[in-house]
A and B are shown apart, each in its own frame.
Chain A
């Protein structure tokens, strides 16, 4: 941590909050100062999340801290139960209870007896060093460990998406594109999109799905648990590009033992290819001169890079990821000063990174692929996706316009 000019890497608490907040038929009670939740809600609205959990804070004052009392938590839970039709109440500590060592899990266990009619689910981080990605991973895993109902029935017409969370830029439109492709290629409809478009009831039915599609590595632990629990196979990865998406569909065919609708796939490939052909001439012109630099979530960066380099023969610039735990030899983690340096030195190239970084460097904000951003997504589903066939056309169009400038 330390000194930052830009927004610091989010905490695990923030990762948990962003994962839980979009879930409907639930309430989230944060034990801590109310400012946390107020501005957390503001961030959610920037990401285009306007429904989902009912969000509440308990607030905490110096007397609560000095005496270690948690009466506010009990009162708030009691109040929420009276008013809301929530099936589950997620409990989360803010930084102060974490510092003073409030054991939210023990408190939840104790309170569960008092509030029998509703499930209390505490989400706590292990420490202050945990990253946002660890928070997302822990939240996804806990959700699938605790909520899905035991079932023997399989619905061969449904699938789950795991890892469509609010911290990924344009997560809703990406999930929507995947659902569209799955519907066209396999006739499958989503059972639960965890957690961008889901409710507690949908999570409860997750065990019935035919296959789990895991969009980020943080979701793999949850998918493995579901595989163990229900025998549901999973596919890990984000489909980028035309060939990449086709390959991803092939993997699903193999794992799910289902045949894809070739007519649909060919038609989608043709449409995407023809739109890319239109811009390929312009891409060709700057391909040799300009590079493509990418910074953001490791899975997003790797996916987009693979499309650009393998399918459009673009030149790789400086690429980095935003989580130290995800770095490898090909994709290092860059701290703030490192990515600032990288962006400054990429004068003759296309940069795709967080909105904040692009805004600072004066680059095209349309090329944002990561958060934090600088504007709110008013209609998230109306935004073009980055994944799938439509994502391929979208990306190629972006590069053409940005590269030409």
Chain B
């Protein structure tokens, strides 16, 4: 059997159910959705959590939310089901646990239910309805069985959406804007120029996501607009529009300059502002690079790997520039991908769709497709253990895989920004502990790569490009690969970064030379 025979093409996909693994044996596989939900909750000041599940899930949640007590009195406790509760449900035990947490000082509790509570159909929503009147603590929940939610993106998305339960209806302020960004916490990035521009225009900006506070969440519905700049926050924006009538502008999947033009124009009209030179300069850079890419990318065959944000939208954009996707890893297929699927199909691109769950085994298969470029994070820490190494294009040196230290420094990932106002994020030992975003003021002043040498764990070469962003690209056994963008920018600046990174990766390989010959 051909190794790709079992894979559907993009045109045949309309939901997650048809997406198959490229190879069946999973190692190490995706993160559990509980992981990002725990991480998110850990990074929201004032929010307590209760992870509900079997011993494995509750134990492993400590990788992402390591302390039972947060710096602002948050409680991060665990509820483990016993044999009896697996059969008859954990309703009484859970109610008792919530009461104990409220009595111990938890002000708001997010219940993160893992596989078994979801499998046995525990009615956590009913438990909350029943218990809420008796408790001073606000309750919310998210069901995150991995058998329904294969990856951490759905964990982030659902946990973000669950935050609406902590929001209060507010009077709208025309100068208030929520920036919806699910920051992974691994990298301290510069605020997007769009956000900086809005700040300079006197808008009151509030970050909603990892790194914000419960107080921010409560006041969030007062915003005149939700600006969606990362994919896992779109569902939150949709929910907030439904519950509080807060309109949103979705920027997360916009790469094409014409589409960004439209979005910026909408935004300017809505906020009654005009854009300044910074934005126009960014636009011009993006247009110049698009023109260049139209020539350079034509006929380039790509494979999309792990951890690419909005991959179908990105493939559709690169398809318009002439790049043909051969195979794509899709952790999830979402409804909003339909339009991009149609666009790709119309262009004649019908890539194989799969989930890459064992990179060590899957990479040779991907390589056998003879793509010109691999887009995404190419290897995990495990590969180093198995001897994975990277070379530059001239084979002049070998670079160890920084990701190989990933497990070792696992707890050190959460070393992103911190909230200056209350010094949250400071450990007892004095090190920054919290991940996620810094408070808005700190974020706006953050310089790119202020934590040089830390934060990104993609393998291979990393280098600055004209002081703008950090291109992560490399060569894996003659296959050039690139992380499309990582600077946290949005709009024109992100398109510029994306095109520049891919262009650099192609420049560093001998593809263009081979074609010229």
Residues on A close to B: CB < 8 A?
1-11, 13-14, 29, 33-43, 45-46, 50, 54-65, 72, 75-76, 78-80, 83, 94-96, 99-100, 127-129, 360, 362, 372, 374, 376, 378
Contacts and interface: CB of A to CB of B under 8 A. Distances in A.
B59 A65 contact: no
A93 B82 CA distance: 17
8 contacts: A3-B78, A36-B60, A50-B385, A55-B27, A57-B25, A59-B357, A78-B24, A128-B83
Contact of A2 (B26, B93, B385): B93
A41 B28 contact: yes
Given A2-B79, A99-B86, A128-B82, A59 B29 contact: yes
Contact of B97 (A2, A39, A58, A59): A2
B184 to A, nearest CB: 17
Contact of A37 (B29, B96, B97, B115): B29
A3 B100 contact: yes
A360 B68 CA distance: 9
A56 B28 CA distance: 7
Instruction: In the A-B complex, list the 10 residue pairs whose CB atoms are closest, starting with the nearest.
Output: A35-B32, A34-B29, A128-B83, A39-B60, A33-B146, A75-B24, A1-B82, A1-B80, A5-B68, A11-B55
Interface in B176-224: none
Contacts of B77: 3-5
Contact of B26 (A1, A50, A59): A59
A279 to B, nearest CB: 28
Interface in B144-160: 145-148, 150
A376 B357 CA distance: 25
B81 interface: yes
A211 to B, nearest CB: 35
Contacts of B509: none
Given A1-B82, A61-B148, 17 more contacts: A1-B81, A2-B79, A4-B77, A5-B77, A29-B25, A34-B30, A35-B34, A35-B146, A39-B60, A41-B28, A43-B60, A45-B407, A62-B147, A79-B24, A94-B56, A372-B62, A374-B66
Interface in B66-80: 66, 68-69, 75, 77-80
B31 interface: yes
Contact of A95 (B29, B93, B101, B116): B116
Contacts of B31: 35, 38
Q: How large is the interface on B (under 10, 10 to 19, 20 to 34, 35 or more residues)?
A: 35 or more
Nearest to B96: A3
Contacts of A41: 28, 382
A42 B147 CA distance: 21
A76 B428 CA distance: 45
B59 A7 contact: yes
Contact of B78 (A7, A45, A127, A376): A7
A3 B119 contact: no
Contacts of A95: 54, 56, 115-116
A6 B357 CA distance: 31
Nearest to A36: B56
B60 A34 contact: no
Interface in B17-73: 17, 21, 23-35, 54-60, 62-63, 66, 68-69
B231 interface: no
A163 B264 CA distance: 65
A99 B120 contact: yes
Contact of A57 (B26, B35, B68, B115): B26
A8 to B, nearest CB: 4
A4 B78 CA distance: 5
Nearest to B120: A99
Contacts of B86: 99, 128
A10 B146 contact: no
B263 interface: no
Given A3-B79, A56-B26, A61 B147 contact: yes
B146 A34 contact: yes
B337 interface: no
B85 interface: yes
B436 to A, nearest CB: 21
A8 B60 contact: no
Contacts of B35: 35, 39
Nearest to B21: A59
Contacts of A5: 68-69, 75, 77-78
B119 A99 contact: yes
B414 to A, nearest CB: 14
Nearest to A61: B147
Contacts of B116: 95-96, 99
Interface string B389-403: 000000000000000
Given A35-B32, A65-B147, A96-B119, A58 B80 contact: no
Interface centre among B116, B120, B385 (most CB of A within 10 A): B116
Contacts of B147: 33, 60-62, 64-65, 96
Interface centre among B58, B59, B82, B83 (most CB of A within 10 A): B59
Contacts of B428: 362
Interface in B318-369: 357-358, 361
Contacts of B150: 59, 61
Contacts of A9: 55
Contacts of A129: 82-83
Contacts of A40: 56, 60
B452 interface: no
B410 interface: yes
Contact of A38 (B25, B32, B408): B32
A4 B81 CA distance: 11
B35 to A, nearest CB: 7
Interface string B438-461: 000000000000000000000000
Contacts of B78: 3-8
Contacts of B54: 11, 95, 128
A323 B97 CA distance: 23
Interface centre among B28, B81, B100, B361 (most CB of A within 10 A): B28
A63 B17 contact: yes
Given A79-B23, A360-B68, A13 B56 contact: yes
Interface centre among B82, B86, B148 (most CB of A within 10 A): B86
B146 A1 contact: no
B68 A378 contact: no
A389 to B, nearest CB: 31
Interface centre among B21, B25, B77, B385 (most CB of A within 10 A): B25
B29 to A, nearest CB: 3
A384 B60 CA distance: 27
Contacts of A35: 29-35, 57, 60, 146
Contacts of B58: 4, 7-8
A80 B25 CA distance: 7
A118 B382 CA distance: 25
Nearest to B56: A36
Nearest to A63: B17
Nearest to A64: B147
Nearest to B101: A3
A33 B24 contact: no
A19 B55 CA distance: 17
